[in-house]
Copies of this chain bind each other. A is one copy, B any other.
Amino acid sequence: MELRHIRYFLAVAREGNFTRAAARIGIGQPPLSQQIRDLETEIGTALFHRVPHGAELTEAGAAFHDVVAQFPDLAERAIRAARRAGRGETGTIRVGFTASAAFSPSVPGVFRDFRRAFPAVEMTLEESNSAQLVTRLKEEQLDAVFLRQDAIADDGIRLHVISSGPMVVVLPAGHPAAKHDKVSLSQLRDDALILTPRDVGPTHYDKVVSACRNAGFEPQMGQIAPQLGSVINFVAAELGFSLVPKPMTQLQANGVVYREIDGEVPIAELSLAYRSNDISIALRNFVSRTLAAHRSFSEPDED
Contacts and interface: CB of A to CB of B under 8 A. Distances in A.
A133 to B, nearest CB: 24
B78 A64 contact: yes
Interface of A: 1-4, 42-47, 58-64, 66-68, 70-71, 74-75, 77-79, 81-88, 90-91, 280-282
B68 A85 contact: no
Contact of A82 (B63, B71, B75, B87): B63
B59 A280 contact: yes
Total copies of the chain: 2
B86 A44 contact: yes
Contact of A60 (B2, B63, B83): B83
Contact of A83 (B43, B75, B84, B88): B43
Contacts of A79: 1, 42-43, 64
Given A59-B280, A63-B90, A74-B67, A82 B47 contact: yes
A61 B60 CA distance: 35
A85 B59 contact: yes
Given A3-B3, A46-B86, 19 more contacts: A43-B82, A45-B82, A45-B83, A45-B87, A59-B86, A59-B280, A59-B281, A59-B282, A61-B82, A63-B85, A63-B90, A64-B78, A64-B82, A64-B85, A67-B78, A68-B75, A68-B78, A71-B71, A71-B74
